[in-house]
Structure formats: C-alpha cells, structure tokens
Chains A and B, each alone.
Chain A
Amino acid sequence: MKVRKRSIALGIYYFLLLLPIYWMLNMSLRTNASILATFSLFPTDFTLENYIKIFTDASWYMGYVNAIIYVGMNTVISLTVALPAAYAFSRYQFVGDKQMFFWLLTNRMAPAAVFALPFFQLYSSVGLLDTHIAVALAHCLFNVPLSVWILEGFMSGVPREIDETAFIDGYSLPRFFITIFIPLIKAGVGVTAFFCFMFSWVELLLARTLTVTNAKPISAIMTRTISATGLDYGLLAAAGILTILPGALVIWFVRNYMAKGFALGRV
C-alpha cells in the first residue's frame, strides 16, 4: 500500500515535470498565427514549418553545430586536465593542497555579468575571439573545478592498496593510471562528462560575449526571433525542443553509470 502511494506521488511529479516541455512541443508544431489565435491542448493545425525553417536556414542550424563543437571541446579538455589533478588530490598530500582545492571551487562563485567584459578583452587580445576554442576555454573556468571535485570523490573510493600493488608489480604511474585506474572509475568519468556537457551547453552569457558569428551558439541565436511583430512563439518553441535532444542523447549513454553510483567514493 505504501509502495503504491509512493509511485502515485512520483507519477504526479513526472507529469508536472513533463507538462511545460509538452507545452513547448505542442507550440512547436503550430504556426505563430494559430498559437495566438486559439488555445488548444493539442496541435490542431499540425505543421512542421518551424522545424523545416531551422533545418534549412544555416544561420539557425549552425547554432547547434557551433554549440556542439565547443561543448565537445570543453568536455574533452576538462576531463583531460581534471583526471590527473583529481588523482593528486585523492592520493597525495602536498603544500597548499586544501587551499588549492577550495580556490578551484571559488571560480564558480563570481557573477558573470561584469566579468564578461574582461573576458572579451582577454580573448580578443590573444586573437581567439569568435572561435570555438575561446568558449571551450572560458567554460573550463567552472567545469574543470567541478570535474576535479566529482572525480576526486570517485577516486577516493578506490582503495590505495590497488595503486601500491601495481607499483610493486613494476607499473609506472602513467601506465597504471591509464590501463588500470581509469577503467576502475569509468562510472565517474561518464558522470563527469555529463556534468561538463550540461553546464557548458546551457551557459549563455560567456558564450554570447565571446562569439560574433562564426561560433555563435543556438541559445544566443534564439534571441533573434524577437521581431517587430513580437515573438515568433512557434519557431522559438521548435528551437527550444531541439536544444534538449543532444543532452538527452548524452544522458542516455551515461544512465547506467548514473544509476550505479556517482557516490562510490563519497560515501
């Protein structure tokens, strides 16, 4: 009886969770004129017009391509630098380790609005403005510390006897790390990759500041639908629906890692 009540409550939560997304889907399948004219629970005059516009207009679909490129770069860079650092924090004691760890976390705490201007100056002075790598590097500011934090938790869950045994068996640190250790924490790597992807994908302010046309992400392009006649809700909704898909694909791949234990080392 208790279990039933629990799943009913969960069902209600999921219903409410999906409702705004359903509403956006509904809007995306209607024309703007129809949206404003009649209220309807279902797409009455079903049309794919909005999606066709996005997929045929380069200024729209390149937004998705740009965002995927820099988010991919950011995820790879974040994981590459965070893995050895997280190992150092989880295994070694060194001068300034705790201070360094907290300093890394502080980089998530600055309000982006004013910092965006010096970012613009910095990246234009090194000639990286309007490139994908600029946004990828800028997003490292908050994704690298988070990656170190999460990975350190996973790594601390692996007993140190495993390292010691491997070193006695004659493994060098890099070889041990790549062939034995990373496979042991692959759940952590999967979860970290998801978090990097997510936070880089949804960030707007830095991405918009650092790009002009060549690397402009979809989230910034979406603000264009405001025209003289007001918002084109149908188009905006279709673009919104399409921003969910890449991330949904990523979480589909890491879902088992999620389920198995983010917290392995943190318990």
Chain B
Amino acid sequence: MEKWPDNKAWLLVLPVFVIVAFSAIIPLLTVINYSVQDIFGPGQSVFVGVDWFREMLQDYRLREALWRQFLFSGLVLIIEIPLGVLIALAMPKRGWKASAALVTLALPLLIPWNTIGTIWIIFTRPDIGLLGAVINNLLGIPFDHTASPLDAWITVMLMEVWHWTPLVALLAYSGLRAIPEAYYQAARIDGASAWSTFLYVQLPKMRGVLTIAFLLRFMDSFLIYAEPFVLTGGGPGNSTTFLSLYLVKIALLQFDLGPGAAFSLIYFIIVLLFSFIFYQALQRVGKGETV
C-alpha cells in the first residue's frame, strides 16, 4: 500500500526536528570546530586543519582500542542475540508467571550504568564477592580481573551479557507474542517440526524487533563506557581499554580537546557507517523472507 504523498506532514515532524536539532547540531558543530584547532586556553587557539585527524589515524593505541572494540561488539552480538531469542522462546506465555518473568527480566536494565560496574566489583572480589569466592576458593582456580587480562575480559563479557541480554529477550518476546495462534495451527497441520516452525514462522515475524535489538546492541556496545570504567578502569594494562575509555583518556584526562574532538568524529563516523550497513542489510533480509 502506497503512503499518502503530502509535504504538510513536515509540520508533524517539526517539533521532533527542533527538539533533537537543539541538542544535536550545536554540539556537533562545536566538536567539529575543536577538531581543526589547537587549543591552549580560553580564546587561544590556532587553526591546524586536518592535523589532528592525521595524528589520530596514525595512533597505534587508537587502532588497538578499535580492534578491541570490534572484538567486544562482535562477541556481544554473537552471544546476546541468540541467547535472547532462546530465552524469549522458553518464557511462560500467560498468567502470573509471564508477568513475573517479564518484570524480573527487566531488572538489570533499570540499574544506572555506573552502579552496574559497582555491583560486579562487589560480586567478583575474591574476598567479599560471591562469584570471586566461588571460583577462587571453592573451585580453586585463581581468578582475578585486576591482574589477568583474560579474566578481565571474561568478567566484562559476563557483566555485559548479564546486563543487556534481557533487552534482546524482551524485544524478541514481544515479537513472539504478536504472532496469531492461527499461524501455529497452520504449521501443525503441515506437520512442521519445531525447528521449521521457528525458521519459517517465528523468525520472520521477529524480524522487526530483532532489527531494533541488533542495532541498539551494536550502537550501545560500541559506545560502552561507564561499566568497564568502573569495573576494570580499562586494565589490567590496556587490555579492556575500549574506544570510549581511550577517548576519555585523551580528551578529558590529558585535556587535549583538539585530538579528542577529531577522535570523536572518527568514532562517530565508524558507528554511523556500520549502523547504516546493518540497517540496510537487515531491511533487505526482511524483504527476502516475507515474499
């Protein structure tokens, strides 16, 4: 069905445009302005063109942080999307159990991000934390995320999966609930197995919500800051210094606004580019399946 062509619809979009543009455009222009200047202090700056961009692109620590970030976001998507779908499939469908399951599932999502890091510090400390104590004392495996890079990665991944898989599960669950019972009956009459029901009925119907889940998880995991900052501070060494952590190190701790701004813009463009590719690809996959 074709949409009604009418440019007056812009009037309905205008309030959104104004309110988002107010917070979006001026800060973006300011950051672009910083990125081409060397700033010594208030009112003292020199135009340096693309020098900061060149410097940032040649910074090997930035490149290392970038690869670390890709690995992290990749693992996040590979683990959280299928796990979330599995949880949604197993959740109770109606009654008080469904309500209880939904409310409990959402709990990790409602905790401020720095508090998440705090919870996991408390939870994984070998002396006072449950997880830390069980692994170190009960199983006798030395596990310390402040000393071993691998342990730090495992802890950050556990925290991330614990924190965000519920979002994927919530979205997938609501997608599943929107499938009319008639679809399942038809599949049963055709003698479809559970697997083919999933593949040809449930999965295509979850396409829309999974697109939202996939893109939200990609963007937010790529921009992750507060949780690893509180938990590991980027260490041990630089092993969990993700892009945002390195950015803060440059821009705020060393107070290098110019390079920081250039870094931010490069960062922004990477997220934008990948989101655009995923967005296009997921839309195309969807069309192929529903035909």
Interface residues, chain A, with chain B CB atoms under 8 Å away = 6-7, 9-10, 13-14, 16-21, 23-24, 27, 35-36, 39, 41, 77, 80-82, 84-85, 87-89, 91-95, 97, 100, 102, 104-115, 117-119, 121-122, 137-138, 140-141, 144-145, 148-150, 153, 160, 191, 198, 201-205, 217-219, 222-223, 233, 236-237, 239-240, 243-244, 246-248, 251-252, 255-256, 258-267
The complex places the Cα of A104 from the Cα of B20 at a distance, in Å, of: 8
Closest to B180 in A: A267
Which of the residues A77, A89, A267 comes within 8 Å of B179, measured between beta carbons? A267
Asked if A267 contacts B178 (CB within 8 A), the reply is yes
Q: Which residues of A contact B34 (CB under 8 A)?
A: 114
Binary CB contact string for chain B from 202 to 226 against chain A (1 if under 8 A, 0 otherwise): 0001111101100110011001011
Other than the known A92-B5, A240-B118, A248-B106, what 10 A-B pairs have Cβ atoms closer than 8 Å?
Answer: A18-B104, A94-B13, A119-B23, A219-B113, A237-B122, A243-B111, A244-B111, A262-B170, A262-B174, A262-B209
Candidates A9, A35, A160; contact of B128 at CB < 8 Å: A35
Cβ of A24: which chain B residues have Cβ within 8 Å of it?
Answer: 119, 122-123
List of A residues within 8 angstroms of B205 by Cβ: 263, 267
Closest beta carbon of chain B to A225's beta carbon, Å: 9
The answer to whether A110 and B276 have CB atoms under 8 Å apart is no
Indicate if the CB atoms of A23 and B112 lie closer than 8 Å.
Answer: no
Chain B residues numbered 173-187 whose CB sits less than 8 Å from any CB in chain A: 173-175, 177-179
B247 vs chain A, min Cβ distance (A): 5
Is there an interface contact between A105 and B208, defined as CB atoms closer than 8 Å? no
On whether the beta carbons of A87 and B12 are closer than 8 Å, the reply is yes
With a cutoff of 8 Å between Cβ atoms, the chain A residues found around residue B272 in the complex are 106, 109
> A144 to B110, alpha carbons, bound, how many Å?
19
CB-CB nearest in chain B for A147: B16
Main DSSP-derived SS at the A contact region:
helix
**Residue of A92, A121, A266 touching B3 (CB-CB under 8 A):** A92
Query: Pick the contact of B23 from A6, A113, A138, A251 — CB < 8 Å?
Result: A138
Flag if B119 contacts A222 (CB, 8 Å).
no
Kindly identify, within residues 7 to 51 of chain B, every residue whose CB is under 8 Å from any CB belonging to chain A: 7-10, 12-13, 15-17, 19-20, 22-24, 26-28, 30-31, 34
Which of B53-61, B143-151, B232-240, B261-269 forms part of the interface with chain A?
A: B261-269
- Assess the B271–A109 pair: CB atoms within 8 A: yes
Q: B243: CB under 8 A from chain A? A: yes
- Across the interface, B223 reaches (CB within 8 A) one of A10, A81, A111, A219, namely A111
- B82 CB-CB contact with A under 8 Å: no
Please give, as numbers and ranges, the residues of chain A lying within 8 Å of B267 by CB-CB distance.
110-111
With A16-B162, A94-B10 given, is the CB distance from A204 to B113 under 8 Å?
A: yes
Set of chain A residues within 8 Å of B30, measured between Cβ atoms: 117-118, 121-122
In the complex, how many angstroms separate the beta carbon of A57 from the nearest chain B beta carbon? 18
Query: Does B77 make an interface contact (CB < 8 A)?
Result: no
Interface flags, B59-70, vs A, CB<8A=1, else 0: 000000000000
Residue from the set A113, A148, A258 with the largest chain B CB neighbour count within 10 Å: A113
- Pick from B9, B23, B87, B247: contact of A10, CB under 8 Å: B87
Residue B135 is within 8 A (CB to CB) of chain A in the complex: no
| Minimum CB–CB distance for A52 against chain B, Å | 20
Q: Which of B20, B107, B206 has a CB less than 8 Å from the CB of A145?
A: B20
Closest Cβ neighbor of A21 among chain B residues: B107
In the bound complex, how far is the Cα of B120 from the Cα of A27, in angstroms? Answer: 12
* B7, B15, B276: the one within 8 Å of A95 (CB): B7
Cβ-defined partner of B268 (8 Å) among A111, A137, A160: A111
Interface centre among B13, B261, B276 (most CB of A within 10 A): B13
- CA A237 – CA B111 in complex, angstroms? 12
Is B231 engaged at the interface, CB distance under 8 Å to the other chain?
A: no
Residues of A within 8 A of B94 (CB): 259
Contacts of B23 in A (CB 8 A): 107, 119, 122, 137-138, 140-141
Instruction: Please pick, from A16, A81, A223, A264, the residue contacting B19 in the complex, using a CB distance under 8 A.
Output: A81
- List of B residues within 8 angstroms of A117 by Cβ: 30, 257
